[in-house]
Structure 1
């Protein structure tokens, strides 16, 4: 795909283009048709591409199992999506272990082992909020800082520690608003790597989807990205290694209100089939179909589920 086409489509992703509530009719294959017949269930998600895709996959899976599904995906911000589940306004949504541990549970030290982090989050969330965590997917959608290939070569940038090699006046950052304010975000990263906070004029707060394009164009030297985003390779960006392991593990899992799981325990079997297939490679490919190629998330979700034998 020509570079101009990639750049032109980049701004449409990560929730900047509203997600349609349309869901095509589907028939289960490995997902047992009729296993949720008579159930009415609602699904929420945050408002960036990966979350919308995960939400649409869940909507289709529940629909294939015979449930009536209320699509509440594409909610602005992590907190709002999470609160919808806590308040009973939505039954379920995908969440990341690191986000829950740091942001919702107020912990200041992540657990570096993925399984131990998941186990700790699952136990705490059930006890504190009556929310169940189902099987987690093997990919880690961690935050990362990206640079262009030429800038990586110019300054010798391979890891976040290398940011110190850049003269302070040239340390410019493109960040999404949520990352700027999160405990596991910008300020914490700078502190962990011993980098003074730059003047406000060197930090641009942008919508998530705009950060990638701005970084590729050189608007900022460093751009905050999600490691599973398909625009990283499409825009020829390079991510810097988190060599001091500041960022938590962000394995995703479907979180469901406990009362819902008690009534419909078969949801766990459906979700387990899905989670096991979601590798980093798969997620980057699916994200790219939306953010780079401009495809509709629910159709990307359906086609992938068919290719994996989940749907007919």
Structure 2
């Protein structure tokens, strides 16, 4: 009951937020449905008229359908970038199979004697297709269409993974901030939209479906039904297209001042992007769009920065040095490391590091305190001695990056019993549920305030410093030079205790990240 109450309170308190997400979700889904319907039906007709093409085309759509959505998103991000375009293309790919197969099946199952009669009466191929095949196949086509629409609405939640809109934003934000009410609120709305849509489509399907009497199956009133409803359908589609054009075209051609700030999928980054956005909007006439929780973090944000899809984002010196600049050497002095990173970004990518916030968010190894007490573990070296009895969990990119698991394991000789890939927002839940015994973490994680966890000592100094600061495009600075002085207001203004406190307020006290950011700016005297 408590969770239900929290969800209802979220709907009331954040109604504007959810209404905006619903609009984005419907827009993304509808665009994908319209495009997939046109392409899918067209391909279905083509392979029905030319059976030689049926096997390869259906085979290709089947193959695409079996590829995990995350894999397709990851591939497309490198081509079409982050945001709505990639999300829509992904949804179209998954929507093609039901449309192609239902169209092909519907047309091929028509009684050949009906077609022969039409040919005998002198009908052209187009007339046979338009007046006989499509009307007779319509029930099967519409059945595939209905399934495709529901699937697209449900799958639309993945859009937020690459910085697009939709209700997946609420789900993803809830997961990364340990807010189960937010996750459920977004999930329930997607389910409700899918249910309502399915009910409407089922009602409409009755008017175009087959009717069966005894052993004889016949089609009743299909042509009349099509004539009756084709005009309203066309009108509705035109209205929808006009609405979509009115929403998206002005945004494409809009010349207002605007910058895009991105964040990785973690609470700390949500707060930092809100601080940056609110500070910029308070002191300038620039509009700020925030793309929160982009999956893959640096791996996807950095290429988007180079392409110009993102203008700025919070980053860490250690990540930039080893993951972006691919440097193997170690620089112990944190400030010297920052200067070298700043130089490397400017020379290689024409990107700027503008100042440092004032805290170090380096990696840490965290273990359940009862396990630490059981095996007397205080340092990474202590952990290595009993690692074969324990399970290690980390987010996906930690296992791949240069400064990640493999290098750490080599340095200390870790040989864990098992390793698990966990979403960054689920690692502590993994510890609590005893699914894992050890995780990688950040020294600024809110959960580290909890006495049930123990942060181990990096006795060989493996992890470099990860000073937090702002990365911004050179072109953005040229367009909006006033931003430079505004970002400098944050120089050495966010201490480690500040960011830990803010993380705790969001993850444990369940406060909104934008509210926490505002309170910080007011307390620091940076905004009124």
Q: TM-score range by the shorter chain?
A: 0.7 to 0.9
1:184 aligns with 403
1:124 aligns with 344
Q: Does 1:208 align with 2:427?
A: no
Give the deviation of 1:165 after TM superposition. 3.0
Q: Does 1:240 align with 2:402?
A: no
Q: Secondary structure at the match of 1:274?
A: coil
Deviates more, 1:257-266 or 1:182-191: 257-266
* Conserved 8 A contact 1:155-1:165: no
Match runs of 1:20-59 below 5 Å? 39-59=257-277
1:92 aligns with 312
Instruction: State the TM-score, normalized to the length of structure 1.
Output: 0.84
1:257 aligns with 473
Kindly indicate which of the two structures has a greater share of residues assigned to strand. 1
* Conserved 8 A contact 1:173-1:204: yes
- Measure, in 1, the Cα distance between the counterparts of 2:304 and 2:177: 18
1:104 aligns with 324
2:393 aligns with 174
After superposition, the C-alpha distances for 1:191-238 in whole angstroms (9 at most, x for unaligned) are: 011234x35xx1111111111122134322211111101111136311
User: Quick check: which has more Rg, 1 or 2?
Assistant: 2
Q: What is the number of residues matched between the two proteins? A: 280
Give the deviation of 1:269 after TM superposition. 1.9
Q: Structure 1: give runs of 5+ residues left out of the alignment.
A: 1-10, 20-37
- Measure, in 2, the Cα distance between the counterparts of 1:16 and 1:205: 17
- Measure, in 2, the Cα distance between the counterparts of 1:167 and 1:265: 52
Picking from 351, 354, 375, the partner of 1:134 is: 354
Give the deviation of 1:91 after TM superposition. 0.9
- Measure, in 2, the Cα distance between the counterparts of 1:266 and 1:238: 44
Instruction: State the TM-score, normalized to the length of structure 2.
Output: 0.51
- Measure, in 2, the Cα distance between the counterparts of 1:213 and 1:72: 25
After superposition, the C-alpha distances for 1:114-149 in whole angstroms (9 at most, x for unaligned) are: 101000000010011000101112211111111122
- Measure, in 2, the Cα distance between the counterparts of 1:308 and 1:13: 29
Give the deviation of 1:16 after TM superposition. 6.9
Q: Does 1:291 align with 2:507?
A: yes
Q: Does 1:268 align with 2:484?
A: yes
Ranked by relative contact order (alpha carbons within 8 Å, sequence separation 6 or more), the top structure is: 1
1:219 aligns with 435
Q: Runs (4+) of structure 1 moved beyond 3 Å? A: 15-19
Give the deviation of 1:248 after TM superposition. 1.9
Deviates more, 1:230-239 or 1:140-149: 230-239
After superposition, the C-alpha distances for 1:156-209 in whole angstroms (9 at most, x for unaligned) are: 2111111123162x121121111122111111111011234x35xx11111111
2:176 aligns with 14
Q: Structure 2: give runs of 5+ residues left out of the alignment.
A: 1-172, 184-255
- Measure, in 2, the Cα distance between the counterparts of 1:222 and 1:80: 27
- Measure, in 1, the Cα distance between the counterparts of 2:404 and 2:507: 23
Q: Secondary structure at the match of 1:100?
A: helix
Kindly indicate which of the two structures has a greater share of residues assigned to helix. 2
After superposition, the C-alpha distances for 1:234-263 in whole angstroms (9 at most, x for unaligned) are: 363111111111112111111110122233
Q: Secondary structure at the match of 2:358?
A: coil
* Conserved 8 A contact 1:45-1:55: yes
1:305 aligns with 521
* Conserved 8 A contact 1:140-1:251: yes
